[in-house]
Amino acid sequence: MLFPIMSVPDRYILTITCPDTTGLVAAVAGYLRDQACFIDESSQFGDPATMRFFMRAVFTRSAKSPGIDAIKANFANIAAPFEMKWEIISANIKPKVLIAVSKFGHCLNDLLHRWHTGQLAIDVVGVVSNHDDMRSLVAWHGIPYHFLPVTADTKAKQEQQVLKLVEDTKADLTVLARYMQVLSPDACQALSGRCINIHHSFLPSFKGARPYQQAFERGVKIIGATAHYVTSSLDEGPIIEQAVERVDHTQGVADMVAVGRDLENVVLARAVRYHAERRVLLNGTKTVVF
Amino acid sequence: MLFPIMSVPDRYILTITCPDTTGLVAAVAGYLRDQACFIDESSQFGDPATMRFFMRAVFTRSAKSPGIDAIKANFANIAAPFEMKWEIISANIKPKVLIAVSKFGHCLNDLLHRWHTGQLAIDVVGVVSNHDDMRSLVAWHGIPYHFLPVTADTKAKQEQQVLKLVEDTKADLTVLARYMQVLSPDACQALSGRCINIHHSFLPSFKGARPYQQAFERGVKIIGATAHYVTSSLDEGPIIEQAVERVDHTQGVADMVAVGRDLENVVLARAVRYHAERRVLLNGTKTVVF
Amino acid sequence: MLFPIMSVPDRYILTITCPDTTGLVAAVAGYLRDQACFIDESSQFGDPATMRFFMRAVFTRSAKSPGIDAIKANFANIAAPFEMKWEIISANIKPKVLIAVSKFGHCLNDLLHRWHTGQLAIDVVGVVSNHDDMRSLVAWHGIPYHFLPVTADTKAKQEQQVLKLVEDTKADLTVLARYMQVLSPDACQALSGRCINIHHSFLPSFKGARPYQQAFERGVKIIGATAHYVTSSLDEGPIIEQAVERVDHTQGVADMVAVGRDLENVVLARAVRYHAERRVLLNGTKTVVF
Amino acid sequence: MLFPIMSVPDRYILTITCPDTTGLVAAVAGYLRDQACFIDESSQFGDPATMRFFMRAVFTRSAKSPGIDAIKANFANIAAPFEMKWEIISANIKPKVLIAVSKFGHCLNDLLHRWHTGQLAIDVVGVVSNHDDMRSLVAWHGIPYHFLPVTADTKAKQEQQVLKLVEDTKADLTVLARYMQVLSPDACQALSGRCINIHHSFLPSFKGARPYQQAFERGVKIIGATAHYVTSSLDEGPIIEQAVERVDHTQGVADMVAVGRDLENVVLARAVRYHAERRVLLNGTKTVVF
């Protein structure tokens, strides 16, 4: 079973990144056993290219286990000699998510529907947009809508407002759900590792503007969508998920846009879920997705 | 280009089914040329197994063309010697669609979003359900909601109410968007060729109830969804569209349900679009999809 | 990295199946650490449905490790309290494989090419067939060819000859690469867990004879192929791998056969590789594929 | 049914490219009817972007039809006013194909197996290579092998020898089946529209050398292969076919190479078949594939 949709009391997610060496799994699994914790799910990966080790474990406390604070505190002793970057969080904590959107609302509608029906374990704290079009949809879901229009002159200032919103809402994750404003390098830096974008092409093909137009002109036989973490290099951040669909010569740009919408929905929703379930670990410019 | 999303005045769709023989395309294309009509799109298929011929053409009237009523009237002379079953309708006419749903609203939400944003050229005339759960969503879209609860005792009567609703709303198409009531043979007959169901398996595998549970128990490595016309043989009607996704041993039934939702959305939306655009012609127990 | 294609001295594969409980990973990983072994790759899965635990680890001995015989001998002490069914084998040992074929040689050609070019770490000990058609191809590869013709009268006897061949060649795995003879229940039992068949449909749809014909008649929009362990229930053994491809109304049975060949090649080759690399563990009537 | 695998006497393929206008299909279909020919299969496409029209029809002469030479001769009268570029060839004529290969023989083996077993209606007139590795495989198939080694100094001269071989063998099509020499602009020009290359990436991503290495470094979640006509712009020729497969973080370059081989085989074989069956028409820098 993947991550349980229903919440289980006392279930936790442990994530680890560190240099690869002998005894890592033994140390972690041994520690959890000694705390009388049951491992529900565990994945690990040693990258021979970077010699880095990655691990994600989902475990449940038992009646014999110490309190979670003690489990966390003592894990530091395990982590230190291995130089682990690690985190233990409750599997029941839903990350606070701010969604940014412009005029195309399909990804927004899809994310909100999944959230609304309990399929996506996130806590949507708001929707921000440079247009007012999605206000009614968002209002129906009972979520605050922040209309922050932007012009060439106000671009820098509006971005500051968006960043302030991230801060005010305490958003753990910002999702660019077809938000058509390129973030400044500073904003990318500020949201590093906690901002996911959906790009409507099979990256690295067709970066930048109008990717379906580019795909049409190149005459590709398959189109795609890519969810990635935002970095200051446009459309070059670590890829989390991709999906593709076949097209043919009869399909014009509008047809590709229509096919692409379904890809964008699915790819972005998966990436948000993987991130929310702590499945994504950064490995340089790439990702490990457990 | 597939069917144009924007409407074009004086664009029409011609569909034909008849015994296959020499001269069919010549007769049809010659007729349209003689009416000064431009063929935007044309597909034809002769089935060597059944010796049946199928054709769909999209054409546009020009300034030199006769009126559409004359074009239709005179086409009968072409059609008769070939024993054609045929139809010419305006490409701008959106079929009236009644959507039936039970408790799972993902397909409904998906169809309504596509309709709302102009991606799906249908005219949703109402939503009917044996539950009251979807009322608010449907109301937000400004569509009438018909709550027709059903019990074992009232099943036949409730079905009559549904059929009356089809009649009253003049629905051209009824879409069972995860409607969990099996229609009686009489109802299937009454809606023959104008009722599409989404079944949450890759038919003919896992007919009937709880297909994801069946798939889980069989240990398949790929799951799917199937849109088909409803017939009195449960889940055996002509298949319009299918899609699949990979699963593995880690995924339990709930995970398959989650993966399946995305398949169901896409497959049902495509089937409805194909039907609305007159792309689906019946070929015995199978379909030709142009 | 998946299983390394080049061989590494002193690399071993450990596989475990046992009841799930606390401390399993800790025990195994701790043991390997104590033997100064480096874990190259490790996967584990606890099935909540059956409460069974499955594990596969690839590890490498270091200069400080005991001999492999000692490592194996002492692992028994770890395994016993957990009631583990386990095995430790050298990752460099290639399983001996006997391939059975009838008249369609595409899977045979594909497997032999992969083997010949070092892509498939198996040791092909022979090819057996009820026809003589593939003799020349097999001879070119320098592999013994066993022509064992069969008639209705000699079916039982011929099967005995095939089983004797399995024994004589010490085959660890028998691959039915489009071998068109149904094995008797006794033969299925004798080869249980070490006989892989390729069925040319997306099981459980279209069991038995002429699956492409069945698929054509049902009018499916996607066809598939399935590799599974052979059991006495025809085409119902545990599924190892499946793949699918889209078809449409223009494609007759011969076209489906052509599309299917490519699926069969890939699916069977993957299943054989997974088995050879000890990635497949049986979980009742299903498989865990690491 | 797609193109029939078995040959039918008196079956022909007509291909047309011309400016799009009213009456094209009527003219062509009317002409074939007047010659008492039966249309087995017909596809046409009007590209709204380029206003070009493309058509491919497969037809069979009847007892009442004129001779094929007369049919061809008189078709010129139909073609002229529409400025058609057209061709009528026997569906039973197999194009002469020269295959070029370097050290990776999987595509070669795959093409030869398809040819050998009658799955691919081509006439392989020879294999040329800058290495001697594939000699034995090619010899087994009874095909001439041309070993033309190349060094930095002899590159131009060797290419001349390859081109002469194309001429001497009267090859209609040259297939670069993992031939690792970049052709000069002159050679690309000489083979324009009759030379297909398989590139081991999902173009336009990862042009040039070591595409799997590039894909690995970028961290894509899906890899692909592309068959295209060779032009003087490296890896930028009109795309005929593409296919993709999912990969994940556990897969290194060698694993991607292994996955990619299966994609390359299938994609190249399809492209060659489409070309051989006259399904591919050039539309500027893109293709129409019927």
- Contact at CB, C26 and A29, closer than 8 angstroms: yes
Instruction: State residue D125's pLDDT score.
Output: 98
Determine contact: C93 vs chain A, CB below 8 A: no
| Active-site choice (A132, A172, A235, A248) | A235
User: pLDDT digits over C244-268, tens only?
Assistant: 999 999 999 999 999 999 999 999 9
What DSSP designation does A14 have? E
Nearest C-alpha of chain C: how many angstroms from B246? 9
Determine the Cα–Cα distance for residues B199 and B205; give it in Å rounded to an integer. Answer: 11
> D223 is written with which tokens?
């890899």
Q: What are phi and psi of D10, to 5 degrees?
A: 65, 30
Nearest C-alpha of chain C: how many angstroms from B51? 13
Instruction: State residue D7's pLDDT score.
Output: 62
- Contact at CB, B243 and C222, closer than 8 angstroms: yes
- Contact at CB, D254 and C5, closer than 8 angstroms: yes
Determine the Cα–Cα distance for residues C137 and C143; give it in Å rounded to an integer. Answer: 9
Determine contact: D43 vs chain B, CB below 8 A: yes
As a whole number, mean pLDDT of residues B82-95 equals 97
- Contact at CB, D254 and C119, closer than 8 angstroms: no
- Contact at CB, C220 and B205, closer than 8 angstroms: no
Q: Which range has the worst mean pLDDT, A237-241, C206-210, D145-149? A: C206-210
Q: Mean pLDDT in chain A?
A: 95
Give the pLDDT band of residue C8 (cuts 50, 70, 90).
confident
For B237, left (φ over 0), alpha (ψ -120 to 50), or beta? Answer: beta
User: pLDDT digits over B158-192, tens only?
Assistant: 999 999 999 999 999 999 999 999 999 999 999 99
Residue in chain D lying closest to A267 (CA): D221
- Contact at CB, B252 and C49, closer than 8 angstroms: yes
Q: Which residues in chain D are closer than 8 Å to C4, comparing Cβ atoms?
A: 254
Q: What one-letter code names the amino acid at A33?
A: R
Query: CA D203, D209, D213, D217 torsion: positive or negative?
Result: negative
- pLDDT value at B221 more than 70: yes
Query: CA A243, A246, A248, A254 torsion: positive or negative?
Result: negative
Contact assessment for residue B92 and residue B120, using Cβ atoms and an 8 Å cutoff: no
Interface test with A, best of B136, B262, B270 (most A CBs within 10 A): B262
* Angle at CA of residue C84, ends C82 and C86, nearest 5°: 150
Which runs of consecutive H residues, i.e. helices, occur in B148-252? 155-168, 185-190, 211-218
Determine the Cα–Cα distance for residues C146 and C161; give it in Å rounded to an integer. Answer: 10
- pLDDT value at C7 more than 80: no
Determine the Cα–Cα distance for residues C159 and C157; give it in Å rounded to an integer. Answer: 5
> C288 is written with which tokens?
């865990």
Q: Which residues in chain C are closer than 8 Å to D2, comparing Cβ atoms?
A: 250-252, 255
Instruction: State residue B7's pLDDT score.
Output: 62
User: pLDDT digits over D150-198, tens only?
Assistant: 999 999 999 999 999 999 999 999 999 999 999 999 999 999 999 999 9
Give the pLDDT band of residue B9 (cuts 50, 70, 90).
confident
Catalytic residue list contains B235: yes
| Cα–Cα distance list, D108 to A289, C177, D111, D164 (Å) | 36, 21, 5, 21
Instruction: Report the percent of chain A where pLDDT is more than 70.
Output: 98
Q: Which residues in chain A are closer than 8 Å to B269, comparing Cβ atoms?
A: 262
| Cα–Cα distance list, B41 to A251, C252, D36, D116 (Å) | 12, 24, 25, 39
Q: Which residues in chain A are closer than 8 Å to C1, comparing Cβ atoms?
A: 48
Radius of gyration of chain D (CA): 21
- Contact at CB, D23 and B33, closer than 8 angstroms: yes
Determine the Cα–Cα distance for residues A222 and A203; give it in Å rounded to an integer. Answer: 12
Determine the Cα–Cα distance for residues B61 and B12; give it in Å rounded to an integer. Answer: 8
> C7 is written with which tokens?
């061989």
- pLDDT value at A8 more than 90: no
Query: CA C247, C250, C252, C257 torsion: positive or negative?
Result: negative
Neighbours of D31 (CB within 10 A): 18
Instruction: Report the percent of chain B where pLDDT is more than 70.
Output: 98
As a whole number, mean pLDDT of residues C204-219 equals 95
End-to-end distance of chain C based on CA atoms, in angstroms? Answer: 13
- Give D185-190 contacts, CB < 8 A, sequence gap 24+: D185/D232, D187/D159, D187/D162, D187/D163, D188/D230, D188/D231, D188/D232, D189/D232, D190/D163, D190/D166
Give the pLDDT band of residue C4 (cuts 50, 70, 90).
very low
Which SS3 state, helix, strand or coil, does residue B222 take?
strand
Determine contact: A156 vs chain B, CB below 8 A: no
Determine contact: C243 vs chain B, CB below 8 A: yes
> A24 is written with which tokens?
């890592």
Contact assessment for residue C260 and residue D7, using Cβ atoms and an 8 Å cutoff: no
Nearest C-alpha of chain B: how many angstroms from D43? 7
Determine the Cα–Cα distance for residues D122 and D114; give it in Å rounded to an integer. Answer: 9
Residue in chain C lying closest to B219 (CA): C286
Neighbours of A156 (CB within 10 A): 11
Instruction: State residue C3's pLDDT score.
Output: 46
Instruction: State residue A127's pLDDT score.
Output: 98
Which SS3 state, helix, strand or coil, does residue B258 take?
helix
Determine the Cα–Cα distance for residues D112 and A262; give it in Å rounded to an integer. Answer: 39
Give the pLDDT band of residue B47 (cuts 50, 70, 90).
very high
- Contact at CB, B25 and D42, closer than 8 angstroms: yes
Which SS3 state, helix, strand or coil, does residue B223 take?
strand
Determine contact: A250 vs chain D, CB below 8 A: yes
- pLDDT value at D83 more than 90: yes
Instruction: State residue D243's pLDDT score.
Output: 97
Which SS3 state, helix, strand or coil, does residue B107 take?
helix
Residue D123's Cβ-count burial label (10 Å; 0-12, 13-18, 19+) is middle
- Contact at CB, B1 and A109, closer than 8 angstroms: no
Nearest C-alpha of chain A: how many angstroms from B244? 12
Q: What is the pTM of this model?
A: 0.95
Determine the Cα–Cα distance for residues A210 and A257; give it in Å rounded to an integer. Answer: 10
* Angle at CA of residue B40, ends B38 and B41, nearest 5°: 130
- pLDDT value at D45 more than 60: yes
| Active-site choice (B34, B40, B133, B235) | B235
As a whole number, mean pLDDT of residues B65-90 equals 97
Determine the Cα–Cα distance for residues A63 and C192; give it in Å rounded to an integer. Answer: 42
Determine the Cα–Cα distance for residues C212 and C200; give it in Å rounded to an integer. Answer: 7
Instruction: State residue D4's pLDDT score.
Output: 44
Query: CA A151, A156, A158, A162 torsion: positive or negative?
Result: positive
> D30 is written with which tokens?
């009317």
User: pLDDT digits over A192-244, tens only?
Assistant: 999 999 999 999 999 999 999 999 999 999 999 999 999 999 889 999 999 99
Give the pLDDT band of residue C284 (cuts 50, 70, 90).
very high
Determine the Cα–Cα distance for residues B32 and B62; give it in Å rounded to an integer. Answer: 11
Instruction: State residue A7's pLDDT score.
Output: 63
Give the pLDDT band of residue C108 (cuts 50, 70, 90).
very high
Assign 3-class secondary structure to chain C: CCCCCCCCCCEEEEEEEEECCCCHHHHHHHHHHHCCCEEEEEEEEEECCCCEEEEEEEEECCCCCCCHHHHHHHHHHHHHHHCCEEEEEECCCCCEEEEEECCCCHHHHHHHHHHHCCCCCCEEEEEEECCCCCHHHHHHCCCCEEECCCCCCCHHHHHHHHHHHHHHCCCCEEEECCCCCCCCHHHHHHCCCCEEEEECCCCCCCCCCCHHHHHHHHCCCEEEEEEEECCCCCCCCCEEEEEEEECCCCCCHHHHHHHHHHHHHHHHHHHHHHHHCCCEEEECCEEEEC
- pLDDT value at B51 more than 60: yes
Determine contact: B30 vs chain D, CB below 8 A: yes
Which SS3 state, helix, strand or coil, does residue D289 take?
strand
Instruction: Report the percent of chain D where pLDDT is more than 90.
Output: 96
Give the pLDDT band of residue D5 (cuts 50, 70, 90).
very low
- Residue A277: its H or E element: none
> Looking up tokens 């030479």, which residue turns up?
D69
Determine contact: D44 vs chain B, CB below 8 A: yes
Which SS3 state, helix, strand or coil, does residue B268 take?
helix
As a whole number, mean pLDDT of residues D64-85 equals 97
Instruction: State residue D128's pLDDT score.
Output: 98
Q: Mean pLDDT in chain B?
A: 95
Residue in chain C lying closest to B251 (CA): C47
Q: Which residues in chain A are closer than 8 Å to D285, comparing Cβ atoms?
A: 217-219
> Looking up tokens 């040959």, which residue turns up?
D7
Contact assessment for residue A255 and residue B6, using Cβ atoms and an 8 Å cutoff: no
Radius of gyration of chain B (CA): 21
Instruction: State residue A9's pLDDT score.
Output: 81
Q: How many CB pairs under 8 A join C and D?
A: 53
> D146 is written with which tokens?
């041309």
Nearest C-alpha of chain A: how many angstroms from B3? 9
- Contact at CB, B262 and A265, closer than 8 angstroms: yes
Interface test with C, best of B239, B249, B279 (most C CBs within 10 A): B249
**Strand A123-129, strand A145-147: pairing:** parallel
> A93 is written with which tokens?
């904590």
Among B48, B206, B221, the residue with its CB nearest the CB of C252 is B48
As a whole number, mean pLDDT of residues D124-147 equals 98
User: pLDDT digits over A161-203, tens only?
Assistant: 999 999 999 999 999 999 999 999 999 999 999 999 999 999 9
> Looking up tokens 């370059």, which residue turns up?
D253
| Active-site choice (C34, C133, C153, C235) | C235
- Contact at CB, C220 and B242, closer than 8 angstroms: yes
Determine contact: D252 vs chain C, CB below 8 A: yes
